[in-house]
Chain A
Amino acid sequence: MPKGPESFGGGREQNETDELKSEYQARGDEANKDAIKAAQKEQEKNFNVSPAAVLEKLKNNPAAKKVIGYAAIGAAVGIFATSFILMSASKASASNNSVITNAPKAMVEQAMTPAMTPVTTPEAVTVTFENDGNEFAGETINGVKYDYTEYADRENKVAYNAYGYDYTKDYNDRNAATNSIIRMAEQEPEALASYAYNAFTDDEKQELGIKGLSMVEIDNKFDQAGGGDLQKSVLSKFSQILKDDKTSFNFYRENDTEQTNYVYFVDENEDGNYTPDELHLGYDTKRRSNAPQVDISRTITNPDGTTKTIKVLDLNMNCGYQPNYEKAPQGVPKIESNKPVPQVISGGGPGGGGGGEDPTPPPDPDPKPVPPDPVPPDPDPKPTPKPKPKNPENLERIDDKVHKDIGKDDNTGRVNPEYNPGVSPEDITAPPSPGDYGGTAPVTTPNQPSQGAEDVQPTNPGNDYGGDQGGANDGNANENPVEGNDQSQEEADRNEQTDLPSDSGESGDELADLGIR
């Protein structure tokens, strides 16, 4: 599934290669294929550096983004320091003065988040699950810790049933990706189950007591007695694999169809709360378009001392690091990624282990009973839990007003950037050299004694090129000098010379008639 660097479009191609080829043929050097190949290679090197492509690469390079980020912080502080002065002068409301007056300092402090400072290798990643009133976090009776805050934050996720947020920011950053994946595994036992199923060898699964289980069954095991200890062991092993030197991360863009894990909720307790026993693994088929992914593999040593590289995980970064598969994962029901599932999951079809390309999902091997009500419930039987606003009864949205303030200009979608066109060589003409136009010498005829002097024809001022007539390049010739393109200049000179009339009698007469010689 990993693919090489993608190309973004066309460049200068066949025309120039054909010209070169013609040139070599004209020189009788048709066999000089090496030169043609070299020219083609040069074109490929310059193949598509479009502004949009460069921008996309900039976004995906953490080092470049940091440099731009530091500049943005400086710019923002400059802006809001000025605004602060204006706001103070206009005497904003007392309750908001503290916000505005502290804005510059807050901007800098807030902006200098860990993302803006150099990333350091973590010693250990731990997540505290303190029950501080967060309705989405806690610990089960079996000691399994969970935190579904990110999962439940649907407004900020790409898909309804996605594991979590968009982690494209981790692209090309192994440390950041490692941290994010481990945090996801700690927060959601379902995610951990999917990771363990894919990442562990049979021996490792055997050691942990999960050999032969599907990912759904591993998830169920967390819900049983001893689930907490199992979670700790599996998490520890998984973290170890990700941080191992023999594990490699390959970030790439996906443009194919694949199957991807999701997590869906069935409110079996009928209380609207998310607990591990009510959240389950599913999968959906997705058509990717330039989607950021990370392919993780590791090298292991066989008993006979030989080594081999095995796949660990292929993860989709857009939706919280969900595992991808070419074929439907075994024992996992198919769901819709962007909708809440009905309370009854239809799991008909062949028995578990069918997998492959059979579109009919196998029956859900989940031993828990399906809720008895076979009739699809109302579209929204229970409100989806989400963070509560501060003053829900008094909340008046101002989105529309703010949209108008932004203006239509930037609300019509992204406009591709363009390079600075600068001054092209075609805009500049070479200045005349001093000797080019020396004027025309007057035609004189010796005065014959027996004849009167001939009238001297008045010189047509229009033909006098001796003086500075001014013009487009008057005095400006050297402001934007053409940077040497010696070859083309020599070629032009050569062509110009061949255009000059040869020194034939006929031509010489014509030139003489014109008064040139």
Chain B
Amino acid sequence: MESHLVDETLLGQFADVLIAQKYPGQPKEAYADARKDIMDALDNKISRAIIGSLTEEQGMELNQLLDEGSTDEAAFADFFKKYNINLEEIIQKVMQEFQDDFLKGGKNA
């Protein structure tokens, strides 16, 4: 099973709220498979957006930080701050687009 970049509890909650908006009154068991797909798809988009906000040089610098096995949250927070990468803004944009597409019925519906 592939792990997610974003916390799975949050992804699951997001999926539940999305589905409740469009299909109110449904128990979790009625959409268990699709819930996982929503989580995977959203995590996929967020991952691409975050990585896509980095230039190659920034990617190398982040890679070095990761290779050092840093356990310091502040180090990672400082890295993104240094390059003015606003993670919350990036993720919110992705979530908003995802929600809009979902409520409208999907790009290929």
Whether A185 sits at the interface, judged by CB under 8 Å, is no
B1, B17, B101: the one within 8 Å of A107 (CB) = B17
Interface residues of A in 49-92 (CB under 8 A from B): 49, 51, 53-55, 57-69, 71-76, 78-80, 83, 87, 92
B30 touching A395 by the CB < 8 A rule?
yes
B29 touching A395 by the CB < 8 A rule?
yes
B interface bracket (residues with beta carbon within 8 Å of A): 35 or more
A107 touching B13 by the CB < 8 A rule?
yes
A398 touching B52 by the CB < 8 A rule?
no
A5 touching B52 by the CB < 8 A rule?
no
Number of A-B contacts (CB under 8 A): 236
Whether A225 sits at the interface, judged by CB under 8 Å, is no
A113, A397, A407: the one within 8 Å of B107 (CB) = A407
When each residue 221-255 of chain A gets 1 if its CB lies under 8 Å from chain B and 0 otherwise, what string results? 00000000000000000000000000000000000
When each residue 42-80 of chain B gets 1 if its CB lies under 8 Å from chain A and 0 otherwise, what string results? 001111101111111011101100110111110111001
Given A407-B109, A410-B41: A54 in contact with B6 (beta carbons within 8 A):
no
Q: Separation in Å of the B55 CB from the closest CB of chain A?
A: 5
Complex: chain B residue closest to A390, CB-CB: B27
B23 touching A398 by the CB < 8 A rule?
yes
Q: How far is the CA of A449 from the CA of B83 in the complex (A)?
A: 74
A63 touching B51 by the CB < 8 A rule?
no
B52 touching A402 by the CB < 8 A rule?
no
Chain A contacts to B: CB under 8 angstroms: 5, 46, 49, 51, 53-55, 57-69, 71-76, 78-80, 83, 87, 92-93, 95-96, 99-100, 103, 106-107, 110-111, 113, 115-116, 155, 158, 166, 168-169, 171-172, 318, 389-391, 395-411, 414-415, 417-420, 422
27 contacts between A and B (CB under 8 A): A51-B51, A63-B73, A64-B66, A65-B5, A67-B80, A72-B7, A79-B96, A83-B17, A113-B9, A169-B8, A172-B69, A396-B30, A398-B31, A399-B32, A400-B34, A404-B108, A405-B106, A406-B34, A407-B109, A410-B44, A411-B41, A417-B47, A417-B52, A419-B52, A419-B56, A420-B54, A422-B55
Chain B contacts to A: CB under 8 angstroms: 1-10, 13-14, 17, 19-27, 29-35, 37-38, 40-41, 44-48, 50-56, 58-60, 62-63, 66-67, 69-73, 75-77, 80, 87-92, 95-96, 99, 101-103, 105-109
